[in-house]
């Protein structure tokens, strides 16, 4: 029977283990690194699509960056859509000051966003309706000089495409039909001219 020293017994297996360790560590890290880069690239493309789109001759989505975190003003719904109306700090301060009931105009810089979803039943309370698939996002911004020919307000609608996870400007084929300029919502809002073209009341809370 051949005897070997402790060094002889461990040298070759150790080398083999070292090679295996290098193989098993390096390959997964390479793959994981590639996957992480792909995910980040996809996120960057998605964000780029959202904030580079603009209405031809009208507003850009980027003018409303951060709208997702604005304070809620109120809700709206019918049998086809459920909506949440949000306001930037300038708009919220105007509401708290008494607009539109105080008869004063909304100050420049005020912005609103209206997010529309297709409603669905709540899984726990079937009689309740909750937001389902995202449909579109509407925007309004008050700039009395820039939009002097549309009551001081600029408007935009961006329809959401779930397949590509991107937004595109609303068109005349949409619901409601939208023109490709910042006055696309002006005609509709003229019925609220006495309230500086603002439909929505600030819900008491």
Sketch the domain layout of the chain as residue ranges: 61-195
5, pLDDT greater than 50: no
Q: Give me the pLDDT at residue 188, please.
A: 78
pLDDT band at 1 (very low <50, low <70, confident <90, very high): very low
Q: Which residue has the tokens 């001081």?
A: 152
* Sequence-separated (6 or more) residues with CB below 8 Å from residue 184: 55, 58, 155, 156, 157, 170, 178
pLDDT, tens digit (0-9, with 9 covering 90-100), for 33-58: 444 444 444 544 444 468 899 988 78
Torsion sign, CA atoms 144, 145, 151, 156: negative
Residues 50 and 79: their CA atoms lie apart, in Å, by 28
DSSP character for 105? Answer: P
Q: Give me the pLDDT at residue 79, please.
A: 82
Mean pLDDT of 183-191: 75
Tell me the fold of 61-195: Chalcone isomerase (3.50.70)
* Sequence-separated (6 or more) residues with CB below 8 Å from residue 118: 80, 81, 82, 132, 133, 135
Q: Give me the pLDDT at residue 7, please.
A: 45
Q: What's the whole-number average pLDDT of the chain? A: 79
pLDDT, tens digit (0-9, with 9 covering 90-100), for 158-167: 999 999 999 9
Q: Give me the pLDDT at residue 175, please.
A: 61
Tokens representing residue 16 in the block: 């083999």
List Cα–Cα distances, 132 to 38, 70, 116, in angstroms: 28, 20, 9
Which string of b and e fits 60-90 if b means at least 16 CB within 10 Å? ebeebeebeebeebbeeeeeebbbbbbbbee
Most confidently predicted of 16-20, 155-159, 185-189: 155-159
pLDDT band at 11 (very low <50, low <70, confident <90, very high): very low
Q: Give me the pLDDT at residue 178, please.
A: 60
Phi and psi, residue 116, nearest 5°: -105, 135
Q: Give me the pLDDT at residue 78, please.
A: 87
pLDDT, tens digit (0-9, with 9 covering 90-100), for 100-116: 888 899 999 999 999 99
Q: Give me the pLDDT at residue 174, please.
A: 66
The SS3 of residue 137 is strand
């Amino acid at each position: 029977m051949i005897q070997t020293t402790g060094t002889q017994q461990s040298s070759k297996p150790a080398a083999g283990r070292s090679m295996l360790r290098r193989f098993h560590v390096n390959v997964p890290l390479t793959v994981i690194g590639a996957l992480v880069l792909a995910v980040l690239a996809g996120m960057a493309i998605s964000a780029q699509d959202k904030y580079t789109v603009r209405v031809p001759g009208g507003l850009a989505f980027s003018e409303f960056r951060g709208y997702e975190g604005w304070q809620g003003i109120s809700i709206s719904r019918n049998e086809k859509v459920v909506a949440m109306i949000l306001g930037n700090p300038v708009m919220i301060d105007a509401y708290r000051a008494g607009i539109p009931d105080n008869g004063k105009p909304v100050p420049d810089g005020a912005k609103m966003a209206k997010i529309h979803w297709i409603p669905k039943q709540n899984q726990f309370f079937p009689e309740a309706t909750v937001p389902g698939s995202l449909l579109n996002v509407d925007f309004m911004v008050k700039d009395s000089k820039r939009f002097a020919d549309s009551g001081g307000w600029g408007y935009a609608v961006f329809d959401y495409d779930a397949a590509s996870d991107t937004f595109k400007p609303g068109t005349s084929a949409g619901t409601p039909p939208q023109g490709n300029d910042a006055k696309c919502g002006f005609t509709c809002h003229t019925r609220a001219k006495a309230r500086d073209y603002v439909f929505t009341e600030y819900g008491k809370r």
